[in-house]
Amino acid sequence: MSQTFITEDFLLHNDVAKKLYHEYAKTQPIYDYHSHLSPKDIAEDRQFENITQLWVEGDHYKYRAMRANGIDEKYITGDATDLEKFIKYAETIPYTLRNPLYHWTHLELKNYFGITQLLNAESAEKIFHTCNKLLTSPAFSVRSLLRKMNVKMVGTTDDPTDDLHYHKQLKEEGFEIAVLPTFRPDKATEIEKGRPFVEWIQKLEGVVGYSILDYAALTKAIEERHDYFHEVGCRISDHGHSNYYGADFTLEEVDAIFKKGIQLAPLTNLEIEKYKSALLNKIATLNHSKSWVQQFHVGAIRNNNAKMMELIGPDQGFDSIGDQVMSDNMSRFFGRLSIENALTKTIVYNLNPRDNEMIAAMVANFNDGSTPSKMQYGAAWWFLDQKDGMQKQLDVLSNFGLLSRFVGMLTDSRSFLSFPRHEYFRRILCNVLGEEVEKGELPNDMNLIGDLVTRICSKNAVDYFTFQKE
């Protein structure tokens, strides 16, 4: 059966929305400033063997849906063949009606492969082989997939110990799409993890070439790696935590805490909070010194299923929405940076929709007139990255800030087939604006509203992120 629901006017429910999308949004380039794509795959222009490896493997959204549908783990992360795994995903798709996966799946099949057939158990094998045949073509290499979606910039997510070999290779080669690293120092802050933290410190020692036995040596090493990332083209840091950290601390306290941590001595919750507060403050100060943008993805509670964590490891679809109260810590963290004149451009994302209004109101406290919307309430993230979540994010941002200055959507994805999420967002944005124009709540001025759309789709990101000016 053909997928008749994804038409040219999919999600566009009025004439103004259609005009906004087709004349202003559709052709805008993509600046995907936050993703988890592999720079190695881009540098090597990887050609995936089959659609399962490209599309299903490692996708925790798909994993969660398959488990909810009663699919055995063998066909998800187990030793089943790629064809068997694809068929089990296809069997699940009819049960995902009203889940965003249903829309994303069919958008991606249509946009990349020209497939307009509904994915289900009956169509699975034919679609599998059709996609695999196409994947052998140079037009379906990783770089070609990026070009097909009009991608101009990809921001990867990289540990401070990474040598950034592939980023340098791409730059030296002159690849026309900017593939830039993002400094993600979460492991440096995770002192509560004990042995994994110590092992990461040891890895950092190997990279910088000296022992890290106290907090001063740690911050020296972090600063050196920050400098190195900057040299390679990094202009963004990213921080993923369950909460913000705004505890008072002294450097003497933090040094003693760090020394306990690398000796695997027990730490109190307050000690952990002081350590995180100090190190994140230091990194934020480094971000400001280089005029980087910093992102905070806050509010996940990760690896909840202890049994599956033991069996198959982290990041396999067992993360969830946390419910920590974070406003006080957020206020103290950004307030300290503001007092120190060390608060750089910042994008904040939340995972619990309960926090939408609080987060949007809090970030606005620290705008200082130095740059438009210096403090940004970021795009709908992870569990909120769906139609309802995007609409709510747009409404809250509009009510508490300036939608006109929003830097727009990102994929936050590990899949090279995720770029239609930008299209999905753009259609939703145009429909929201179109409905209000038709209701008389916004002026019927296509130049005014159309300019708003193009700025959110691409131009604001170009203006906000300094890497586009260098």
**Residue-wise pLDDT tens digits, 209-220:** 999 999 999 999
Instruction: Tell me the three state secondary structure of residue 235.
Output: coil
pLDDT for the residue 38: 98
| Beta pairing, strands 375-377 & 300-301 | unpaired
Both tokens of residue 317? 């679809």
> Is 378's pLDDT higher than 80?
yes
CATH code, residues 47-140: 1.10.2020.10
Q: Kindly state the average pLDDT of the residues 393-422.
A: 97
State how far the Cα of 446 lies from the Cα of 453, in Å rounded to an integer: 10
DSSP secondary structure letter of residue 250 = -
Phi, psi of 85, deg, nearest 5: -65, -40
CATH number assigned to the domain covering 142-469: 3.20.20.140
Give yes or no for a contact between 61 and 92, defined as CB atoms under 8 angstroms apart: no
State the Cα–Cα distance between residues 106 and 113, nearest whole angstrom.
Answer: 10
Q: Is residue 294 classed as helix, strand or coil in its secondary structure?
A: strand
What residues contact residue 328 under an 8 Å CB cut-off, 6+ apart?
A: 246
Query: Is the fold of 47-140 the same as that of 142-469?
Result: no
The CA distance from 445 to 423, in Å, is: 23
Is the pLDDT assigned to residue 467 strictly greater than 90?
no
pLDDT tens digits for 100-142? 999 999 999 999 999 999 999 999 999 999 999 999 999 999 9
**Distances in Å between the alpha carbon of 89 and those of 7, 21, 121, 260?**
24, 31, 9, 47
Domain boundary assignment for the chain: 47-140, 142-469
DSSP string, 340-372: TT----EEEEES-GGGHHHHHHHHHTT--SSST
List the structure tokens of 14: 């009025």
With a cut of 60, say whether residue 351 has pLDDT above it.
yes
Q: Where does the pLDDT of residue 4 fall: very low under 50, low under 70, confident under 90, or very high at 90 and above?
A: confident
Query: Is the pLDDT assigned to residue 469 strictly greater than 70?
Result: no
For residues 235-261, give the mean pLDDT: 98
Rounded Cα distance between 352 and 384, Å, is 8
CA-based torsion, 216, 219, 225, 226: positive or negative: negative
Which whole-number Å values give the CA distances from 225 to 162, 208, 232, 255, in the listed order?
9, 8, 11, 20
HEC string of 128-165 equals HHHHHHHHCCHHHCHHHHHHHCCEEEEECCECCCCCCH
pTM of the model: 0.97
Q: How confident is the model at residue 384 (pLDDT cuts 50, 70, 90)?
A: very high
**What is the predicted pLDDT for the residue at 468?**
57
**What would the pLDDT profile of 169-206 be if each residue is shown by its tens digit?**
999 999 999 999 999 999 999 999 999 999 999 999 99
Question: 204: how many CB neighbours lie within 10 A of its CB?
Answer: 23
The C-alpha atoms of residue 375 and residue 346 are separated, in whole angstroms, by 5
Query: What is d(CA 233, CA 292) in angstroms, rounded to the nearest whole number?
Result: 11
- 8 A C-beta contact, residue 161 and residue 225: yes
Task: Count how many residues are written for the chain.
Answer: 470
